[in-house]
Amino acid sequence: MSRIILTAELIEEEEGGYTVYCPELDIYTQGDDVEDALKNLKEAAELHIEEIGIENLKLKKIERKTIEMVINA
C-alpha cells in the first residue's frame, strides 16, 4: 500500500458549490460544498490512478508563488 499527498485547490463558484483541482494529477471535479468536493476529488484521484496503473503514476512537481499586481483602471 502506498500513501501519497495531493493538493486540493478549491474554487467557490458564483452559482453555488465548489470546483476542486488537483495539480499533481491534473484532474478537476466539483461538489455542493467543501466536504463533498474533497470527497469527489479523492474518488476521482482513485479512479485516475486505477486507470493509469500505480506503476505509471508520475505526480507533477508543484511550485506555488504569490504575485502582486497593480491594476491601473
Give the per-residue pLDDT at 18. 98
Domains within the chain, CATH numbers bracketed: 9-56 (3.30.160.250)
Give the per-residue pLDDT at 54. 87
Give the per-residue pLDDT at 2. 76
- pLDDT tens sequence across 6-51: 999 999 999 999 999 999 999 999 999 999 999 999 999 999 999 9
Give the per-residue pLDDT at 20. 98
Produce one character per residue of 38-73: b if its CB has 16 or more CB atoms within 10 Å, e if not. Answer: bebbeebbeeeeeeeeeeeeeeeeeeeeeeeeeeee
Phi first, then psi, for residue 55 (nearest 5°) are -70, -20
